[in-house]
A = this chain, B = another copy of it.
């Protein structure tokens, strides 16, 4: 597979490293590669500049959004939710048409400080907005309910825990499930919630996720749906 990972933050780097390590041709998309590579300061979360990361991952090329998306057969949105629609517009509707578009972003709104709220929320979701804005893309929302280290290495979290999948296109979800299996997610841990409107439910997990992250002091946790006791 040829993957385009849009976004140069820690989520994009983590996904790109995993996909490249699995043997996929992987490019990272950014607005302006020269600007991204010229940065010498850590990002807002304390991660080293992108050039430092790329030195350790020479197989992963950095290209503009449109070039990355045009060459890929699967596009992964790891950008900040507030920027996602603009980034995907820069990628280009024609470059997304017919392709699986994996949306990992959350519409966190930091405009009123911490903790962030969500926008959109409740009667809409970022996943739905992206699907409406790019009707020819086959949007699958997934992996947005956990830390990126857990996304690509579910064994970091003990015991059973789940990854949710939302989307309107059954074949696209099947392809994304294959990607998740390749990351080490057991088949029973992949929960297909239904159509893209179910992304509202997973995006709305974020406020609790953020509170738990604060309470636990780390991101190595995930949600598990504990089921009925046999015979209950």
Contact = CB atoms under 8 A, between A and B. Distances in A.
A117 B220 CA distance: 30
B122 A118 contact: yes
A158 interface: yes
Given A118-B122, A200-B207, A205-B205, A225 B224 contact: yes
A14 interface: no
Contacts of A191: 212, 215
Interface string A218-232: 101111111111101
A2 to B, nearest CB: 31
A215 B193 contact: yes
B226 A223 contact: yes
A221 B228 CA distance: 6
Contacts of A52: none
Nearest to A207: B201
A60 B118 CA distance: 43
A49 interface: no
A159 B122 contact: no
B158 A228 contact: yes
A222 B224 CA distance: 8
A194 interface: yes
The 9 closest A-B CB pairs, nearest first, are: A201-B208, A220-B228, A161-B226, A201-B207, A224-B224, A204-B204, A158-B229, A224-B226, A156-B232
Given A117-B122, A119-B122, A220-B232, 17 more contacts: A156-B229, A160-B226, A161-B224, A164-B208, A191-B212, A194-B211, A194-B214, A201-B209, A201-B211, A216-B227, A218-B228, A220-B228, A220-B229, A222-B226, A223-B224, A224-B224, A224-B226
